[in-house]
Amino acid sequence: MPLPTVIVPGYLENAIAYQQLAASLQQLGFPTVTVPLRRRDWLPLIGSRSVAYIMQQLDYTVKQVLQEHHATQVNLIGHSAGGWISRIYLGEKPYAASGKVQTSPWNAHPLVANLVTLGTPHISQERWTRWNLDFVNNNYPGAFYKNVRYVCVAGKTIFGERRRGGWLAYSSYQLTCGIGNTWGDGITPITSAHLIGAENLVIDGVRHSPRNPGIWYGSPEPLKIWVQYLG
């Protein structure tokens, strides 16, 4: 029987943006909920501040889902920042940001069978994410927990260039991995979206966000490629 599944929204996204993805997973037999975040829930986190509030909401959702479905594990699907936040959530070390210490680590890796990240910048030069990403990559590098299957999905859609149509991608890629002239989903370059030791996938033609026009990671055709990795 498919495991219950929890979607973790990306930065500045709310749960509503993932309704269609959740409905598609439900149709495939996966009981699915999205962490009930609002866009304004992200605003206090700007500037490398703690993402503890987001993880508290994630933990509450996971525990609810486990209880409701009498399950021992879930699938996690983290879009964009939701992917690296999920990696912190799996961990067992005290988490701190902006001088504050989270003394009760979530230590959730036994509860997660599969972690799928969609367009997640697992490395970044950006000021607002740098501290948090250094924390997760120093403490839990790569596909760290061997009891969890990590699946990292990248998009090969837009090549970053210093010309019309490529400037946004170029700037975003450069802020993320330090190189603007590379391929990615328009926001996250492929090189940043993958982890050592994970099942690393590249899908042509997908854009970063569910708000983008056209195809994104949760659209029907891309979904067919990565959903097979869910338990």
Among the listed residues 148, 166, 149, the one whose alpha carbon sits nearest the alpha carbon of residue 157: 166
pLDDT band at residue 103 under the 50/70/90 scheme: very low
Alpha helices by DSSP H, 28-126: 52-68, 81-90
Identity at 201, one-letter amino acid code: L
Structure confidence at residue 99 (pLDDT): 54
pLDDT at 21 over 90: yes
20-34 burial string, b = 16+ CB within 10 Å, else e?
A: ebbebbeeeebbbbb
CB within 8 Å of 230: residues ≥ 6 apart: 2, 3, 5, 30, 75, 114, 116
Q: Is the pLDDT of residue 98 over 80?
A: no
Domain 5-229 has CATH 3.40.50.1820: yes
In DSSP terms, 19 is beta-bridged to none
* Range of weakest confidence among 49-53, 144-148, 159-163: 49-53
Question: What region does 29 belong to: left with phi over 0, alpha with psi -120 to 50, or beta?
Answer: left
H-type helices in 69-189, by residue range? 81-90, 127-139, 167-177
Going by C-alpha positions, the residue among 120, 110, 133 that lies closest to residue 51 is 133
**pTM of the prediction?**
0.95
Q: What are the counts of helices (DSSP H) followed by strands (DSSP E) for the chain?
A: 7, 10
161-207, pLDDT tens digit by residue? 998 877 899 999 999 999 999 999 999 999 999 999 999 999 999 99
Percent of the chain at pLDDT exceeding 70 = 94
Tokens (6 digits) for 134: 């250094």
How far is residue 165's CA from residue 21's CA, in Å, rounded to a whole number?
28
Residue 127 pLDDT exceeds 80: no
